[in-house]
């Protein structure tokens, strides 16, 4: 059987169970796809073929004995922000050098316990700080999608750009990712893939390199809504090792996919209709509204008055937390070490050499807003605005079950096209960041193509722990829109 | 312009990141631009608003105050850039 790498996670699971192919054949197909594509796409920073084949062999033995676990033999890519025992983990930062964890993150452990196979570690923006995967110390990732009639290399979004590129190019069946301000949903939207950031506290953060602890959440990027439901069920857990892990059982998300959206109340927040919004984004949004209406949902106008303040508040809260989290990189206990004239000079030299420009910029901003005399004006102010943003959502959810918005303000842009002013890059997260600020779940579903022939996504935002509703509504959009796969495999050697 | 070169150097010192004079000039612009942009939050009246401390209402978990881990010095030292036995080696700090 050829092209096993093009299967969805659900198709591969069912094919393995029926014995149509083995986990080893499936894994070999994916390793071959990575081998032929990675020079062009740079999605993987560390393929792990030996581990993959060993796990696949063990899965074949279990499948033969009828002892298959839920994800038995299914090959996945893992964002390099997840600590993997005995496998180099860098967060794509030079400061972590050749750091090799002696422990496994809770989320990846959950996946291996469910029988999944690890293909390797995926590229991302350095410490997940970026919206284009251009800040990685391993270099940028390329989007498998191209503009119609153009060879210009496009970004796959960020920070989970290795995950989105690898899933869109069939270099893994599904990938783990993380989302602090949109880092799952924005890359999913511009690569034609599905990405869900669950409610804060649904997935354990233990063993995931920390960026901004009150905003970070793990989630999957997948080819279909069903695959996202399967992945999230096995990533999520209640974890005593993360004090913010919420003590609630993990539902079988796949079981609700067929329930439809009859009678579901969908809110359309008017504040997301930004000045200068491209007409194709507006048209996509209207199309999404029409699809949900046709499937039996009712549409309601709602107001989230503090929307425009979410991004500036985020750019206080996230750098503040990052400056605090990244204080641990001192060149003493692990990672890069550069010597200096004394201890302090050693720290300063190590951190100058190890952090890239965007990370340094954010650590400096964070240090400034937390420094004596400025805390109230910036950090405290931002946390108060955050309360108002959350309150807006609480108010909206009195009348609706779910919100529908565009995921991004536009399609994928070219590598190097958005440079210079950092704020221009930050604006990519304008529709996604509110969700992190309020701790809510959000999913991006492919919904159409731009005038350039590249993918666009719609975002659904749920109530806390409303992931089941999100999956139902996302399935309705996917049913109407169909899947969007890359037209030409230009990257394969 | 909120941040001048001296302020950049002061922040960089607090953040323990070496910044050259040339980098400081670029950072003056960049940091000021970001800080000017976030100042739009001043438009929002927050006089009666509590700061957010957690997004999902929950009480912080507790567990019995007992040792649950330990005896893994080899693992802790495994990634140290410079070490001697079970010690991290740092430059001399006390004369």
Q: Domain ranges in chain A?
A: 4-261+466-481
> In chain B, positions 65-94, which contact chain A (CB-CB < 8 Å)?
72, 75-76, 78-82, 88, 90-91, 93
Among A50, A30, A48, A54, which Cα is nearest to A84's? A48
B17 vs A348: CB contact, 8 Å cut-off? yes
**Which alpha helices (H) appear in A299-404, and where do they start and end?**
310-325, 343-354, 357-370, 381-396
> Coil, helix or strand for A120?
strand
Residues of B in contact with A308 (CB under 8 A): 40
Q: Which residue has the tokens 């604006």?
A: A427
Answer yes or no: is pLDDT of B1 > 60.
Answer: no
| Contact by Cβ (8 Å): A255, A233 | no
CA geometry: angle A7, A13, A17, nearest 5 deg? 125
A367 vs B11: CB contact, 8 Å cut-off? yes
Q: Express each pLDDT in A132-174 by its tens digit.
A: 999 999 999 999 999 999 999 999 999 999 999 999 999 999 9
Answer yes or no: is pLDDT of A493 > 80.
Answer: no
Choosing from A22, A79, A131, A245, which is the catalytic residue? A79
Residue A359 Cα distances to A125, A136, A285, B7, B58, angstroms: 10, 10, 34, 18, 32
Closest to A316 (Cβ–Cβ): which among B38, B61, B63? B38
Residue A487, chain B, CB below 8 Å: the answer is no
Q: Please give, one letter per residue, the 3-state secondary structure of A18-84.
A: CCCCCHHHHHHHHHHHHHHHHHHHCCEEEECHHHHHHHHHHHHHHHHCCCCCCCCCCEEEEECCECE
Q: What is the pTM of this model?
A: 0.97
Q: Express each pLDDT in B41-82 by its tens digit.
A: 999 999 999 999 888 888 888 889 999 889 999 999 999 999
> In chain A, positions 375-394, which contact chain B (CB-CB < 8 Å)?
378, 380-388, 390
Decide if A36 is catalytic: no
Q: Express each pLDDT in A433-450 by its tens digit.
A: 999 999 999 999 999 999
Domain parsing of chain B, residue ranges:
5-41
Residues of B in contact with A331 (CB under 8 A): 81
| Helices A23-41/A9-17 angle, 10° precision | 150
What is the Rg, in whole angstroms, of the alpha carbon atoms belonging to chain A?
Answer: 21
When the candidates are 3.90.1300.10, 3.30.2130.10, 3.40.190.80, 3.90.550.10, the CATH number that belongs to A4-261+466-481 is: 3.90.1300.10
Q: What is the predicted ipTM? A: 0.95
| Interchain CB contacts (distance < 8 Å): A and B | 164
CA-to-CA distance for A459 and A194, rounded, in angstroms?
Answer: 10
Closest to B16 (Cβ–Cβ): which among A100, A348, A438? A348
Decide if A136 is catalytic: no
> In chain A, positions 277-336, which contact chain B (CB-CB < 8 Å)?
306, 308-309, 312-313, 315-316, 323, 327, 330-336
CA-to-CA distance for A299 and A270, rounded, in angstroms?
Answer: 12
Q: Counting Cβ atoms within 10 Å, is residue A114 exposed (0-12), middle (13-18) or buried (19+)?
A: middle
Q: Look over chain A and give the mean of its residue pLDDT values, rounded to a whole number.
A: 97
Q: Band of the pLDDT at A276, cuts 50, 70, 90?
A: confident
Residues of A in contact with B75 (CB under 8 A): 102-103
Residues of B in contact with A103 (CB under 8 A): 75
| Contact by Cβ (8 Å): A25, A1 | yes
A368 vs B54: CB contact, 8 Å cut-off? no
A102 vs B72: CB contact, 8 Å cut-off? yes
pLDDT of residue A2: 62
| Contact by Cβ (8 Å): A28, A3 | no
pLDDT of residue A201: 96
Q: Which fold, B5-41?
A: Histone, subunit A (1.10.20)
Positive or negative torsion for Cα A475, A481, A483, A484: negative
Which residues, 6 or more positions from A159, have their beta carbon under 8 angstroms from its beta carbon?
A: A124, A125, A128, A129, A130, A131, A133, A178, A180, A183, A187
> Coil, helix or strand for A220?
strand
CA B41 to chain centre: 23
Lowest mean pLDDT among A145-159, A412-426, B4-18, B77-91: A412-426
Among A386, A131, A374, A364, which Cα is nearest to B34's? A364
Q: What is the β-pairing status of strands A455-462 and B83-84?
A: unpaired
Decide if A59 is catalytic: no
A361 vs B82: CB contact, 8 Å cut-off? no
Give the chain A residue whose CA is nearest to the CA of B32: A365
Answer yes or no: is pLDDT of A42 > 90.
Answer: yes
Answer yes or no: is pLDDT of A420 > 80.
Answer: no
CA A95 to chain centre: 22
Lowest mean pLDDT among A71-75, A244-248, A277-281, B58-62: B58-62
CA-to-CA distance for A41 and A140, rounded, in angstroms?
Answer: 8
A382 vs B41: CB contact, 8 Å cut-off? yes
Mean pLDDT of A103-111: 98
């Amino acid at each position: 059987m050829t092209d096993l790498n093009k299967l969805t996670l659900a198709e591969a699971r069912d094919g393995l169970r029926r014995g149509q192919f083995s986990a080893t054949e499936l894994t070999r197909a994916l390793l071959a796809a990575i081998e032929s594509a990675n020079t062009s796409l740079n999605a993987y920073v560390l393929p792990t073929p030996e581990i993959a084949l060993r796990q696949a062999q063990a899965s074949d033995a279990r499948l033969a004995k009828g002892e298959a676990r839920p994800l038995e033999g299914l090959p996945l890519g893992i964002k390099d922000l997840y600590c993997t025992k005995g496998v180099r983990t860098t967060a794509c930062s030079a400061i972590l050098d050749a750091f090799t964890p002696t422990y496994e993150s809770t989320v990846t452990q959950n996946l291996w316990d469910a029988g999944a196979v690890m293909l390797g570690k995926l590229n991302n923006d350095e410490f997940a700080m970026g919206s284009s995967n251009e800040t990685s110390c391993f270099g940028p990732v390329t989007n498998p999608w191209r503009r119609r009639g153009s060879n210009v290399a496009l970004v796959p979004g960020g920070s989970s750009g290795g995950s989105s590129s690898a899933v869109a190019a069939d270099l893994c069946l599904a990938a783990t990712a993380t989302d602090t301000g949109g880092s799952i949903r924005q890359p999913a939207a511009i690569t034609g893939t599905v990405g869900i950031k669950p409610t804060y506290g649904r997935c354990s953060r233990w063993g995931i390199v920390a960026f901004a602890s009150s905003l970070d959440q793990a989630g999957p990027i997948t080819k279909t809504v069903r695959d996202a439901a399967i992945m999230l069920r096995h990533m999520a857990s209640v974890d005593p090792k993360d004090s913010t892990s919420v003590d609630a059982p993990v539902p079988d998300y796949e079981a609700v996919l067929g329930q439809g959206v009859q009678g579901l109340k969908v809110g359309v927040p008017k504040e997301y209709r930004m000045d200068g919004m491209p007409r194709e984004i507006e048209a996509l949004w209207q199309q999404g509204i029409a699809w949900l209406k046709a499937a039996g949902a009712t549409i309601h106008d709602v107001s989230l008055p503090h929307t425009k303040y979410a991004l500036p508040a985020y750019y206080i809260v996230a750098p503040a937390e990052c400056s605090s989290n990244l204080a641990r990189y001192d060149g003493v206990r692990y990672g890069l070490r550069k010597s200096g004239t004394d201890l302090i000079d050693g720290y300063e030299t190590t951190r100058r050499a190890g952090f890239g420009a965007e990370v340094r910029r954010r650590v400096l901003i964070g240090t400034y807003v937390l420094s004596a005399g400025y805390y109230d004006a910036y950090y405290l102010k931002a946390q108060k605005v955050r309360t108002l943003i959350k309150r807006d959502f609480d108010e909206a959810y009195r009348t609706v079950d779910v919100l529908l918005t565009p995921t991004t303000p536009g399609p994928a842009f070219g590598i190097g096209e958005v440079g210079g002013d950092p704020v221009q890059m930050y604006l990519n997260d304008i529709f996604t960041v509110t969700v992190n600020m309020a701790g809510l779940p959000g999913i991006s579903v492919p919904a159409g193509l731009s005038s350039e022939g590249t993918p666009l996504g719609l975002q659904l935002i749920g109530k806390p722990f409303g992931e089941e509703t999100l999956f139902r509504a996302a399935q309705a959009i996917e049913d109407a829109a169909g899947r969007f796969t890359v037209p030409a495999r230009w990257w394969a050697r | 312009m909120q941040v001048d070169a001296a302020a950049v150097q002061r922040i960089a010192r607090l953040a323990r990141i070496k910044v050259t004079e040339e980098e400081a000039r670029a950072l003056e612009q960049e940091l000021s631009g970001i800080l000017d942009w976030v100042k739009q939050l001043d438009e929002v009246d927050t006089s009666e608003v509590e700061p957010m401390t957690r997004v999902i209402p929950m009480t912080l978990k507790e567990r019995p105050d007992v040792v649950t881990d330990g005896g893994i010095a080899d693992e802790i030292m495994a990634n140290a850039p410079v070490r001697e036995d079970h010690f991290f080696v740092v430059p001399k700090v006390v004369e």
